[in-house]
Amino acid sequence: MEDELQIAMAELDEDKTLLLVTERVQAGYTSMEIIESCRRGVEIVGEKYSDSHYYLSDLIMSEEILKEVMQILEPYIPVNAAQKGRSIVMGTIEGDIHDLGKNIIIYLLRSAGFQVNDLGVDVTPERFIKAVDETKASILGISVLLSFCVGSIKKVVDLLVDAGLRDKVKVVVGGYPVNQQVKEFTGADFYANDVTEALKIYHEILELEESSVSES
């Protein structure tokens, strides 16, 4: 089905995108549905950049529009004040500075009551390990948008093994190039490349954790 919002985003039509987002909020679409349409539109921006139809300035424009979309959506994202579970460490892997998707996931997780320690972008494998160790996090979320940075995620998992932390933390990878193959190659436990799937995974991990605590 043709999605007007996805097309407006792909065409970098700022006014139309923001108008459609506002209309959809008022019509009762969920924030997740709206973010997903925008994400698909931005994916087309990326394809047009690969085909040399768009330039780097267009990638930057998509970033600006997406930030404005989030500003419209934030007041509509329900906040759950009750704190859930233990801490989550999140960051974008070394060499990669893409953070829009990571920030959206963090925003949604915090709104849902999760405690998230955001390490930012260009995070070295060693820094991920230090943060997991210090915060005793039970979930480590790693974002990657550049295919050539995937190898560093494998290094994170290998270092977790070396540090004796692998069985204490679930590793979740996410981002545009991530798929089952990337999950297997890196040794991660879960992967997601959209908001709905990402939040589902975090809730599932939390439930598993709670059931193992109540059994012990």
The site for ligand B12 (CB under 6 A) is made up of 35, 39, 42-43, 45-47, 49-50, 56, 59-60, 62-63, 66, 96-102, 104-105, 141-143, 145-147, 172, 174-177, 192-195, 198
CA distance 174 to 177: 8
- Shortest Å distance, C-beta 65 to ligand B12: 10
Q: What are phi and psi of 146, to 5 degrees?
A: -95, 120
Pairing of β 139-143 and β 114-118 = unpaired
Q: Which residue has the tokens 């047009």?
A: 48
Q: Which is nearer to ligand B12, 81 or 198 (CB)?
A: 198
Nearest to ligand B12 of 159, 195 (CB atom):
195
128 and 142 Cβ atoms separated by less than 8 Å: yes
CB of residue 58 to ligand B12, shortest distance in Å: 8
CB of 192 to ligand B12, least distance (A): 4
Minimum CB distance to ligand B12, residue 215 (Å)? 26
Smaller CB separation from ligand B12, 81 or 88: 88
Report the nearest approach of ligand B12 to the CB of residue 158 (Å).
18
- List, in sequence order, every residue forming a beta bridge with 93; answer none if it has no partner: 123
C-beta closer to ligand B12: residue 98 or 183: 98
CB of 182 to ligand B12, least distance (A): 12
Half-sphere exposure of 203 (CA within 13 A, CB side): 9
Pick the closer one to ligand B12 by CB: 105 or 182.
Answer: 105
Six token digits for residue 150: 């995937």
List, in sequence order, every residue forming a beta bridge with 118; answer none if it has no partner.
90
- Closest to ligand B12 by CB, 101 vs 125, is 101
Adjacency order of strands within the sheet including 139-143: 114-118, 84-92, 139-143, 170-174, 190-192
Torsion of CA 54, 22, 109, 112, to 10 degrees: -170
